[in-house]
Chains A and B, each alone.
Chain A
C-alpha cells in the first residue's frame, strides 16, 4: 500500500524540508514584524497607534490566500519584484515568506499585546513608586511578565503558521501540499495512504512544537 514511498519518484523529505524552511523563516520574520507592530500599537504616539491598529485590522481580515496570490501576481508579475530570485520556484518561495510574514505578523502583534494586557497596572505603578525610571519599569517589571504570558498564544500562532505554509502551494513554492497534489493525481489507487503520509508529516511538525511550548508556558506562567 505504501510502495510509492520506495519508488524514489517522490522527494517526500525534500518537500517537507521546504515546508519546514518556509515555517522557520516566516516565524523569524513575523516575530520581528509582529514585535514592531505591537510596539506601535502600545506606543504613546497616537499616529503610530493608529497605523498599527489599521494595519492589523485590515490584514487580519484578508484571507492569507489573497495576500500570497497578490504577492505573486502583483509584486512578481506586475511590478517585477522578485526579491533577488531567478528560478520561478525560488521566487514563489521568497514571495510566500513575504506574504506569510505580512499576515502572521498581525497575529504575533495581537499575541504580544494580549501578553502586555495581562500585566496588572499596579505592577508598573509599584515599580514607579519605588523610583524606577521608564526603561527599568519596562525591562525589569513589565516585559518579563508580558513575555511569559505571551508564550501560549505565540505557540498557537507558530502551529497555525506551520499549517498555513501549505497556502504557498498557490504560487508554486515546492512544499508538501504541491507534492501531495501531484501524488494524488499519479497514485489515485493509494489515495488514503498518500493522505495518511502527509497528515502524519504535519502531525510530526506541529505536535512536538505544541507539546514543548505548552510545557514551557506552564513552567513560565506567572503565578498570581
Chain B
C-alpha cells in the first residue's frame, strides 16, 4: 500500500520491513517475558486468582454486575439530563440577543475549563450542606450533577458547531418562507444538525461512561471500578486479574457504544442527504473545534 509517507515497497523495502518485524517481535517478546516474570514472581498468574471470573458466578452477581448497573445508571441519567440542557445552552449561544448569548457563553466556557472531578466534589458538598438527600444517594447525585454540568457545556459547543456547519441557505430559505426564528431552529436547522452532530455526541457518551469511574474512586459511589476492593479482598488478592477484567468490561461497553453509533450514523446519512459535512468526534483530540477530551 502507498500513503503520503511512503511508496509501495520494492524488494529492498520489503526485506527491510521483514527485518523491522523481526526486531519488533523480539522487543515485544522481551517486554512480555519481563512482565510475565514480574507477575509470576508475585504469584499473580496462579490459576486460582483468575478462575473465579470464569467458574464462580457469584463474582459477577454480587460485585461486577451490580457495579456495572450503577455505572450505566449514572451514565444514562447524565446523558439524559445533559442532552436537552446542552441543546438549550447551544441554542442560547447562537441567540441574536446579546444578553442571552454572552451569559450562556460564559457559563459554557466556565464549566468546560474546570476538571469534572472538582465539579463532582463541589456537588457532593452542596448536597451534604444544603439538601436532605440521604447519604446513600448523595454519591449518585454528585456524580450525575458533575457529569451533567460538564457534558452539557461540551454538548452546547457541539450543537453550536453543528448548526453553524449547515449551509447558510437553509436558514435564509426558512426566513424567506416566513418562518419565525423558533420554527427555523426546530423544523429546519436542528433536524439537519443532528446527523452532523451524532459522531461527536456519541464519543461524548463514551467520555461520560469513563468519567463515572471518578465517583467510584473518590466519592464512594459503588460503581464498577470500586468493586475491585471487595473482589480482591474476597478472592485472595487477585489484583491484576480483577483490574484486567474491570478494564475489559469498560473497553467492551465503549466499543459497543462506538459501533452502534457508527451504524446509526450510516443509517441517518442514507436516509437524509444532508449538505453539511460531519463535524469530527469531540471525544478525541483529533477534533479541531473543542477541548472535550475529558477525562477519566
Interface residues of A (CB under 8 A from B): 42-48, 51, 57-58, 60-66, 68-70, 73-74, 77-81, 107-108, 110-111, 113-114, 116, 119-121, 123-124, 128, 134, 138, 142, 152-157, 159-160, 163-167, 169-170, 177, 180-181, 184, 188, 191, 195, 198-199, 202-203, 206-207, 210
Task: Given A156-B285, A163-B295, answer yes or no on A70-B118 (Cβ-Cβ < 8 Å).
Answer: no
Give the chain B neighbours of A199 by CB distance below 8 A.
110, 113-114, 118
Main DSSP-derived SS at the A contact region: helix
Chain A residue nearest to B282 in the complex (CB): A156
Establish whether residues B24 and A45, one from each chain, have CB atoms under 8 Å apart when the complex forms. Answer: yes
Establish whether residues A60 and B295, one from each chain, have CB atoms under 8 Å apart when the complex forms. Answer: no
Main DSSP-derived SS at the B contact region: helix
Chain A residue nearest to B237 in the complex (CB): A78
Interface residues of B (CB under 8 A from A): 3-7, 9, 13, 17, 20-21, 24-25, 28, 38-39, 41-42, 44, 110, 113-118, 121-122, 125-126, 129, 206, 209-214, 216-218, 225, 228, 232, 237, 239-240, 243, 246-247, 250-251, 254-255, 284-288, 290-296
Establish whether residues A66 and B286, one from each chain, have CB atoms under 8 Å apart when the complex forms. Answer: no
Chain B residue nearest to A198 in the complex (CB): B118
> A61-B250, A160-B285, A166-B115 known; 14 other A-B pairs, CB under 8 Å?
A44-B5, A44-B9, A44-B17, A45-B21, A63-B211, A63-B296, A65-B214, A66-B246, A114-B286, A153-B285, A153-B288, A160-B291, A191-B122, A206-B113
Q: Which of B4, B115, B240, B287 is in CB contact (< 8 Å) with A177?
A: B115
B44, B115, B291 interface centre (most CB from chain A within 10 Å): B115
Task: Given A44-B17, A66-B225, A160-B295, answer yes or no on A177-B285 (Cβ-Cβ < 8 Å).
Answer: no
Establish whether residues B243 and A79, one from each chain, have CB atoms under 8 Å apart when the complex forms. Answer: no
C-alpha spacing A74/B288, complex, angstroms:
36
Establish whether residues A65 and B216, one from each chain, have CB atoms under 8 Å apart when the complex forms. Answer: yes
